[in-house]
Chains A and B, each alone.
Chain A
Amino acid sequence: MSYLVQQTLIYAIPLMIVALAGVFAERSGIINLALEGIMIFGAFIGVLFVHLCQKYGVFELLPNNGNWGTMQLFELLGMLISGMLGALFALLLGFAAINLKADQTISGTALNMLAPAIVLFFVRIIANQEELRLYKGDAAQWFMIKKGMLGLGESDGFLVNTFLNKVYLATYVCIILFVICAIILYKTKFGLRLRSCGENPQAADSLGINVRRMRYSGVLISGALAGMGGFVYALTTSNCMSNGDVAGFGFLALAVMIFGNWKPLNIAGAALLFGLFKCLAAGYSSIDINGDGTKLLFELSKHPTWGKVLNPNFYRMLPYLISLLVLAFTSKKSRAPKAEGIPYDKGQR
């Protein structure tokens, strides 16, 4: 059970935060198809930061060398840097979409093509191969929080085992950020102005809101969240490796955003649902839900009659099947920001 929760979170968190990144851009009126590209770029920056720190012995220089708390600080620093550079990368989209009034779908796609190419180019130079890994050791060994570190080694409670053992701080930081960003979007003056620019920028402008500035803010926040999400993805699911690929998580996040109807709470739900089924598909052979020692899903897949339907391939289909089903029932109510994708033109009304 702990396994199910933890793995679900590992899949869901990057999806959630990147989908929220999409929301910030789209609510301000810019379609951000470049989420995948920004994630790839952010993952690269974060991994490079950790790699270089290891290479030049920065960790060893610290007074509290070996202290797990210090490592958490570095993890946060990595997230911050990848977020900043992600925002910088997203500026390209902002410039094309806001200043040049370019087609946002095309410029987003261009960034998606640019990011893996540019990342592979640098990875090739740095590592002389197509993937950049940690300089030494494993991500878990450096950054993972285990209950022993917190002095809870003896404890066997479900909450401790699930939420304080074998987890990354990044997961919780992302959840907190998610909540803060959702509040900013819905409960502050800034959020209201941002959203108005995605619905009716002319009206917003007539009330004295600077549409350009709002849209740039949306894109920058979007880039920062997506870049950070990329690093979190690399850290938690691929042993801190950057190879110009995030397994399509950026596009999945776009789907989750639409799935979640551009609303934070729905997005969180959609990401968790998707993550849960992803986890079931990959780990069905060792999931013991009620803790009685039998692994129901695994037994079913081997059952002579049930196994014909509930086989591993079916499990692997589930995340997508469920998404399709839910979309089929909810898409009618789904409503995109009205002015998204349309370059702001003062003269129009």
Chain B
Amino acid sequence: MKKYLAIFLVLVMALAAFAGCQTTKPEDGKTPDTQTEGTQTEATTTEGTETEAAEGSYEIAFVTDVGQLMDKSFNQGTWEGCEQYAKDNGKTVKYYQPANGADATDADRFEAMKAAVENGAKIVVAAGFMQANALTQAAKAYPEVKFVFIDGWALTDGENGPVLDNVAGIAYQEEQAGYFAGYAVVMDGYTKLGFCGGGGGTNPACCRYGYGFVQGAEAAAEVKGVDVEIKYSWQYGENFSASPELQAMATGWYEDGTEIIFACGGSMFASITAAASANDAKVVGVDVDQSEESETVVTSAMKGLSTSVVWAIGKFYEDKWTEIGGQNTSLGVADDAVGLPTETWSLTGWTVDEYNTLYAAVKDGSVTIDANYPEDMSTFAGQHVTVTVVK
């Protein structure tokens, strides 16, 4: 018995020693289709020569938002941009998912960024507004590394401290994309709409999408002279994940007459398309063109994630970082960064020409879209649209 205990103790100590040596690494996945093939060597030595470091390291890093990497939406769009730049320019790229999934803390996110930098990242793309604190910490810790903050803003060191000029804040005018989607579906003849948003109403991007959607529906209802009802909910979407409850709620809406739901939040899409498919109803996708994912998708409110990521990484490699570093960049129709996928949509009551006319009108400012979303959408005072908030 004593002998076993001794062996056990030795094992425990040996394991503890190992654990002490290794830095805790976040979950990181494989790197498909990248320049570097084969597995990555553990714990790249920082003292290695230039060439060694280049072989075992990844220059471009992507730190994901909550939700899946291949969510066919936000994370995936951003990741595809990173991948594309790497492919076109012969760079190496790797993604990092902060530990603990949907419950990731700032510390988990920082650990992911730290791992990225330790693996040789020169530029880190971080997606999602929840990364702000971790990014501030990382940007201060690694001033030589550049950070692209997607769905974010320029960060400062402390409340009133100096602006961190190695962080580029890139946001989108989602309200414009939402506006086009709302306008399009009402012009197409739908009058009973739904909106299921992710983040529980705290995610600014989703709030802007939703507000734009309502405004677009209002504008189109005015043109067509119809009354439109919108059910508006943040329920069951806190983690941007699919759930039986969300599917039950969406099914209820469809059974109750709702014709189309704007599925605004990552994997929530799966639950809503499941409900739509069961009821022969329709869905509006979000962030990227989701028409391939399900036959129920009529159109998608897109933001040009991958193009803008390519653009931002390009700024870094072309030595033009100062143009975006430390600044807020807000991309919208003016930059052709938001819109609807005209080639794959299945609208029949509204033509691409009409869409282009509207697009131009938004671009030249003759149609204005409000971005300051109200806290409670039931206060929306529309002439033709009634918003029912489902809590």
Pick the contact of B247: A239, A281, A286 (CB < 8 A): A239
Minimum CB–CB distance from A7 to chain B (whole Å) comes to 5
Question: Of all chain A residues, which has the CB nearest B231?
Answer: A285
Which residues of B are found within 8 Å of A137, using beta-carbon distances? 277, 294-295
In the complex, given contacts A131-B68, A144-B277, what are 8 additional A-B residue pairs having Cβ atoms less than 8 angstroms apart? A7-B251, A130-B101, A140-B277, A282-B236, A283-B249, A286-B255, A298-B390, A312-B235
Give 14 CB contacts A-B under 8 Å.
A7-B248, A128-B29, A128-B70, A129-B29, A131-B68, A138-B274, A146-B280, A238-B270, A239-B273, A241-B270, A282-B244, A282-B248, A283-B249, A301-B391
Pick the contact of A141: B246, B253, B256, B277 (CB < 8 A): B277
Question: Of all chain A residues, which has the CB nearest B75?
Answer: A129
Whether B70 lies near A129 (C-beta < 8 A) is yes
Question: Of all chain A residues, which has the CB nearest B390?
Answer: A285
**C-alpha gap A34/B336 in the complex (Å):** 53
Minimum CB–CB distance from B8 to chain A (whole Å) comes to 19
Interface residue A195 (Cβ < 8 Å from any Cβ of B): no
**C-alpha gap A298/B194 in the complex (Å):** 16
Minimum CB–CB distance from B376 to chain A (whole Å) comes to 13
Pick the contact of B242: A2, A144, A239, A282 (CB < 8 A): A239
Whether B70 lies near A282 (C-beta < 8 A) is no
Interface residues of A in 225-280 (CB under 8 A from B): 237-239, 241, 247, 278-279
Minimum CB–CB distance from A165 to chain B (whole Å) comes to 10
**C-alpha gap A72/B69 in the complex (Å):** 32
Interface residue A3 (Cβ < 8 Å from any Cβ of B): yes
Interface positions of B (Cβ within 8 A of A): 29-30, 32, 68-70, 101, 231, 233, 235-236, 242-249, 251-253, 255-256, 267, 270-271, 273-274, 276-280, 294-296, 390-391
Whether B242 lies near A238 (C-beta < 8 A) is yes
Which residues of B are found within 8 Å of A2, using beta-carbon distances? 255
Pick the contact of B278: A166, A278, A298 (CB < 8 A): A166
Whether A239 lies near B30 (C-beta < 8 A) is no
Whether A238 lies near B247 (C-beta < 8 A) is yes
**C-alpha gap A3/B295 in the complex (Å):** 23
Interface residue A133 (Cβ < 8 Å from any Cβ of B): yes
In the A-B complex, the 10 residue pairs with the smallest Cβ-Cβ separation, listed nearest first, are A286-B252, A283-B252, A239-B274, A237-B244, A282-B248, A286-B256, A138-B277, A140-B277, A140-B278, A282-B245
**C-alpha gap A10/B32 in the complex (Å):** 38
Whether B243 lies near A247 (C-beta < 8 A) is yes
The verdict on A288 contacting B274 (CB below 8 Å), with A7-B251, A238-B244, A283-B248 known, is no
Whether A286 lies near B69 (C-beta < 8 A) is no
Minimum CB–CB distance from A4 to chain B (whole Å) comes to 9
The verdict on A239 contacting B252 (CB below 8 Å), with A128-B32, A166-B279 known, is no
Interface residue A11 (Cβ < 8 Å from any Cβ of B): yes
Interface residue A192 (Cβ < 8 Å from any Cβ of B): no
Minimum CB–CB distance from A303 to chain B (whole Å) comes to 13
Question: Of all chain B residues, which has the CB nearest A4?
Answer: B252
The verdict on A133 contacting B390 (CB below 8 Å), with A140-B278, A286-B256 known, is no
Minimum CB–CB distance from A108 to chain B (whole Å) comes to 24
A301-322: contact bitstring with B at CB < 8 Å (1 yes, 0 no)? 1000000000110000000000
The verdict on A140 contacting B274 (CB below 8 Å), with A129-B70, A301-B391 known, is yes
Which residues of A are found within 8 Å of B231, using beta-carbon distances? 285
**C-alpha gap A140/B281 in the complex (Å):** 12
Whether B273 lies near A138 (C-beta < 8 A) is yes
Whether B271 lies near A238 (C-beta < 8 A) is yes
Which residues of B are found within 8 Å of A279, using beta-carbon distances? 248
